[in-house]
Amino acid sequence: MLDRIYHSIDPIAFSFGPITVQWYGLGYVASFLLAAAMIMRIAKRWQIQFDIDALLTMITACMLGAIIGGRAGYIIFYGKGYYFSHPDQILAFSKGGMSYHGGMIGLGIGLAVSARVLKMPLLTLGDLASITTPIGLGLVRVANFINGELWGAVTDLPWGVVFEDGGSLPRHPTQLYEAFLEGIVLLLILYILARRSPPLPRGSYFGIYLIGYGAFRIAVEFIRQPDIQVGYLFGTEWVTMGMLLTVPMVVGGIVLLLLSLKIARPQVGLDWLVELSDEQADEEVDDTGQPVAA
């Protein structure tokens, strides 16, 4: 059944003249749109100030950071020098080649820029982004499945899929395993926790995200085939680049979660704008409450 579904879906969603749109690209666009809607909903539930302008600033910075970082990460971690000798291929996004870990670094830089511009706590922005990031993980992994990439080891299970570039034997659809674990399961965990009142301390959701994603990714890596140009590491038949890059995320997530719960700083939005307006209003009246002439 799953094999028939795979072979019945065209990686190209639609074409319009010379423009070709793939499901992979649509997955990214849908991810940011859905994440934006959820961020506003969560901010409202947390009762923190966060308006449309702030949302656009955050989403734009994160989107640019994730795309640029994802591509740069793939070139550095998985390119094996190919792109340095073929610089004309660096911007060939239609041929694939995005690194999750590079995208996370780029997204982090985007969050840091947003925090500086908006004068909001970085960890609050990080929490909002972390709760909604599984949406993108799930959609993009489904797109990976449609593209027939990032498949797993050979299997005789009934849901095995014969991928075009994976030989003649059925393989684990590890893209869908990750879409379920890193997308659906992780999203449910974070969203349920985000509905707490009051919300968890600042940085907690980011820590839980790092732990959850890392644990799920490492588990799937045991049956996911490594990139052919990299292979297994350290002369083993099981250590992959994905594992190597993910272990620090789990460790960092544990440390961040413990520190966040211990320090217990509340979530804060654009509340500083309201406080600033109140202070300015106080300065514009005299001791009797009468307005001061400009």
d(C-alpha 75, C-alpha 84), whole Å: 8
Tell me the HSE value of 140 on the side-chain side, using a 13 A CA sphere: 21
Is 182 within the bounds of a domain? yes
Q: Which residues face 161 on adjacent strands?
A: 171
Is 286 within the bounds of a domain? no
d(C-alpha 209, C-alpha 167), whole Å: 35
Is 24 within the bounds of a domain? yes
Is 236 within the bounds of a domain? yes
Predicted local confidence at residue 1, as pLDDT:
84
Give the list of residues 6+ apart from residue 96 with CB closer than 8 angstroms, or none: 24, 147, 149
Is 290 within the bounds of a domain? no
Predicted local confidence at residue 85, as pLDDT:
73
In degrees and rounded to multiples of 5, residue 92 shows phi and psi of: -85, 70
Tens-digit pLDDT string for the chain (294 aa)? 899 999 999 999 998 888 888 898 899 899 999 999 999 999 999 999 999 999 999 999 999 999 899 888 888 877 767 777 767 666 666 556 778 888 899 999 999 999 999 999 999 999 999 999 999 999 999 999 999 999 999 999 999 999 998 999 999 999 999 999 999 999 999 999 999 999 999 999 999 999 999 999 999 999 999 877 788 898 888 899 889 989 999 999 999 999 999 999 999 999 756 554 444 444 554 444 445 544
Three-state secondary structure readout of 17-32: CCEEEEHHHHHHHHHH
Residues 269/229, Cβ–Cβ less than 8 Å: no
d(C-alpha 255, C-alpha 274), whole Å: 33
Predicted local confidence at residue 249, as pLDDT:
94
Is 151 within the bounds of a domain? yes
Predicted local confidence at residue 84, as pLDDT:
74
Predicted local confidence at residue 92, as pLDDT:
63
Domain range enclosing 100: 2-86+93-276
Is 199 within the bounds of a domain? yes
Is 284 within the bounds of a domain? no
Measure Cα distances from 86 to 67, 75, 79, 81 in Å.
Answer: 20, 11, 11, 9
> Into how many domains does the chain fold?
1
Dihedral over Cα of 177, 191, 272, 291: its sign: positive
Q: Which residue has the tokens 């083993």?
A: 236
